Amino acid sequence: MGIAENLAALPTQSTADLPYYRPIGNEVTLFEYAYRHQLPVLIKGPTGCGKTRFVSYMAARLGRSLYTVACHDDLAAADLVGRYLIGHNSTYWSDGPLTRAVREGAICYLDEIVEARKDTTVVLHPLTDDRRILPIDRTNELLHAPPEFMLVVSYNPGYQNLLKGMKPSTRQRFIALRFDYPPRQLEQEILIGETQIDNALAVRLVNLAQALRALKDHDIEEAVSTRLLVYTATLIKNGFDPVAACQAALVEPLSDDKETITALMEVVLASFGR
Between strands 150-155 and 41-44, the pairing is: parallel
Mention every residue, 6+ apart, whose C-beta is less than 8 A from residue 55: 43, 66, 68, 107, 109, 152, 154
Closest CA to 175 of 40, 45, 272: 40
Full-model pTM? 0.88
Q: Say how far residue 122 (Cα) sits from the centre of its chain.
A: 22
pLDDT of 135 strictly over 60:
yes
Hey, what's the torsion of the CAs at 231, 237, 243, 249, to 10 degrees?
Answer: -10
**Confidence bin at 4 (pLDDT 50/70/90):** very low
pLDDT of residue 2: 45
pLDDT score of 13: 57
Partners of 70 in beta bridges: 111
Which secondary-structure segment (H or E) carries 265? helix 258-272
Give per-residue pLDDT as tens, 74-111: 999 999 999 999 988 889 999 999 999 999 999 999 99
Please tell me the distance from the alpha carbon of residue 29 to that of residue 169, in angstroms, as a whole number: 26
CA distance from start to end of the chain? 66
pLDDT tens for residues 222-270? 889 999 999 999 999 999 999 999 999 999 999 898 988 999 999 999 9
CB atoms near residue 5 (< 10 Å): 9
